[in-house]
Chains A and B, each alone.
Chain A
Amino acid sequence: MTLLRDEIWADVRSVVQEFRLDESAASELSVEACEIVANDAIRRREAHALNETGRMLTDEDLAWMRDQVDALLGAGPIERFLRRPEVENLYVFGPDRAALALTGGRQEHICEPVFAGEEGGFNRSWQHRLVGVRVGVR
């Protein structure tokens, strides 16, 4: 049986891709605009699923969905570090090792996967960079 989050994500991904390919929206194409479209699509599809089948996303599903949106629009797992305002630089030493340079000269070491696995998270983020979205540190 397909999970609700998979059903919703399949729809949302196509909605976001259509939005990005839509030339009329080119002038407003940005990560923020894509996020708004993605979040709106998630809410609408969840509301329809709830109304018609009584199913809702759990907190875990929502976190998973957040990761998928980050992987699609941002830099994948490292996106959550890039969102932190105190992060100035991010040094990647390997697939499971990185270090954050924080404001005030502080450092924070990371020992967890910083890229998505073979399923395509990294590839998707790389593809996203190719269409011109800047992912970087301050």
Chain B
Amino acid sequence: MLAVVTTPTTRLDAGAVGLALARCWSAAGLSVLFVDAAREGSTLAKRVGETSRTGFSPADRGLPSLMVSREEPQLRTLANHCYDLEVSAGSLWALFGPFNADAAALAMQWLSEHVDPMTSIDAVRRVIVATSLQHEPSPLNPLLLAAEVLVIVAPVSDADAARQLRQLCADAGVMVFGRNHRLLVVEGACELGDEELHLQTELHVAGRLPVVDDDRMLRERPHRRDRAVGGELDKVASRVSALIGLYESERTPSPEAAESPSFSKLRRLLSSLRPAAAPPAGHDGDDREPTNGHAGHSDAESTGDDDLAAGARELVSEGPAS
């Protein structure tokens, strides 16, 4: 399971980033369940509907309809409560969150009470949960801490911002030793290198995203100028995939387990993502935010799958930061 969270200062919506990552994985042939667990009420269904010119209502298919059915969230049940989004390969189910803020709080509570069923679903359909962090523990924390990887999307322009992010994660209760691997996706310009960011935040840098509006992130078929964003997203998706694959193999170290279908699929995913990840030479996008040129986000560009996997293995061997 993967959890994608944003901070109060992140311009991108967690749902938009989570859904974009879900599209990356499904495009590589995986079956994915995207869960929109917005904290203050979600507008994601409306925005995705506007972008794709389709009407999506969470009351018809979404967390509200699932909650009032009073059924356990099993795969068969979810098939009746998720929108099956159109993807080029694989399968992508979207479980949109409610519009109302009070309902969003109830939905988060409901999700936290169904951690075990969601974990079971993750075994056959990769689950991506998207939400936001605040300076207090969230009712969703049991689910966030059950995720193998927690991806935090945040603007970290300097050392002060990095320390504030570290404090936010501590206040939100997601910096629990040994629970999951925490990755950072830096939004916008940053003057710090990956190592320095790791020292300040105790998070491993998984990638850097330019500042864009959510609508561009939600497009199914990105425009030419969005390729840079798509490329960065693919990198994040592949790094997370590598980490989850290695995490699974670490948990089940037998040779048979190392060649489990899930792990093999992730290896294939890595291979399939890499060629698509690199944007065309000389085309960085016309409105991409400048970055500091540190090696962190660009090292994956110059390395192959094996190097990427080796990097992820290194993260695994280090263990989760305390």
| A pairs with B | yes
A binding-site residues for B, Cβ under 8 Å? 43-44, 46-48, 50-57
User: Known contacts A43-B68, A43-B69: does B102 contact A51 (CB below 8 Å)?
Assistant: no
A51/B99 in contact, CB under 8 A:
yes
- Across the interface, name the chain B residue whose C-beta is closest to A62: B70
A54–B99 CA distance with the chains assembled, in angstroms: 9
A50/B64 in contact, CB under 8 A:
yes
From B60, B101, B103, contact of A50 by CB (8 A): B103
A51/B57 in contact, CB under 8 A:
yes
B binding-site residues for A, Cβ under 8 Å? 57-60, 62, 64-65, 67-69, 98-106
Q: Which residues of A contact B67 (CB under 8 A)?
A: 47, 50, 56
Give the distance to chain B from A29, nearest Cβ to Cβ, in Å: 25
A52–B103 CA distance with the chains assembled, in angstroms: 8
Q: Which residues of B contact A55 (CB under 8 A)?
A: 102
Can you list 21 A-B pairs, Cβ within 8 angstroms, ordered by A?
Answer: A43-B65, A43-B68, A43-B69, A44-B60, A47-B60, A47-B67, A48-B59, A50-B59, A50-B67, A50-B98, A51-B57, A51-B58, A51-B99, A51-B103, A52-B100, A53-B100, A53-B102, A54-B100, A54-B101, A54-B103, A55-B102
Closest 6 CB pairs of A and B: A54-B102, A54-B103, A51-B59, A51-B64, A54-B100, A47-B59
From A47, A53, A54, A56, contact of B65 by CB (8 A): A47
Q: Which residues of A contact B64 (CB under 8 A)?
A: 47-48, 50-51
User: Known contacts A48-B59, A50-B59: does B68 contact A56 (CB below 8 Å)?
Assistant: yes
Given contacts A47-B68, A54-B100, 14 further A-B contacts (CB under 8 A): A43-B65, A43-B68, A47-B64, A50-B67, A50-B100, A50-B106, A51-B57, A51-B58, A51-B64, A51-B98, A52-B100, A54-B98, A54-B105, A56-B68
Chain A interface helix/strand/loop/mixed: helix
Count contacts between A and B, CB distance < 8 Å.
Answer: 51
A57–B68 CA distance with the chains assembled, in angstroms: 8
A51/B69 in contact, CB under 8 A:
no
- Across the interface, name the chain B residue whose C-beta is closest to A59: B70
Q: Which residues of B contact A56 (CB under 8 A)?
A: 67-68, 106
Give the distance to chain B from A18, nearest Cβ to Cβ, in Å: 20
- Across the interface, name the chain A residue whose C-beta is closest to B42: A51
B100/A51 in contact, CB under 8 A:
yes
Q: Which residues of A contact B101 (CB under 8 A)?
A: 54
Q: Which residues of A contact B68 (CB under 8 A)?
A: 43, 46-47, 50, 56-57
A44/B103 in contact, CB under 8 A:
no
Q: Which residues of A contact B104 (CB under 8 A)?
A: 54
B98/A44 in contact, CB under 8 A:
no
- Across the interface, name the chain A residue whose C-beta is closest to B103: A54
- Most chain A beta-carbon neighbours within 10 Å: one of B62, B101, B103: B103
- Most chain A beta-carbon neighbours within 10 Å: one of B59, B68, B106: B68
A53–B59 CA distance with the chains assembled, in angstroms: 11
- Across the interface, name the chain B residue whose C-beta is closest to A50: B64
Give the distance to chain B from A13, nearest Cβ to Cβ, in Å: 19
A55–B104 CA distance with the chains assembled, in angstroms: 11
Q: Which residues of B contact A54 (CB under 8 A)?
A: 98, 100-106
A46–B106 CA distance with the chains assembled, in angstroms: 14
A51–B36 CA distance with the chains assembled, in angstroms: 13
A44–B68 CA distance with the chains assembled, in angstroms: 8
Q: Which residues of B contact A53 (CB under 8 A)?
A: 100, 102-103
- Across the interface, name the chain A residue whose C-beta is closest to B58: A51
B102/A52 in contact, CB under 8 A:
no
Give the distance to chain B from A72, nearest Cβ to Cβ, in Å: 20
Q: Which residues of A contact B99 (CB under 8 A)?
A: 51-52
A40–B104 CA distance with the chains assembled, in angstroms: 23
A46–B65 CA distance with the chains assembled, in angstroms: 8
A55–B69 CA distance with the chains assembled, in angstroms: 14
B59/A52 in contact, CB under 8 A:
yes
- Most chain B beta-carbon neighbours within 10 Å: one of A52, A54, A55: A54
A51–B63 CA distance with the chains assembled, in angstroms: 9
Q: Which residues of B contact A52 (CB under 8 A)?
A: 59, 99-100, 103
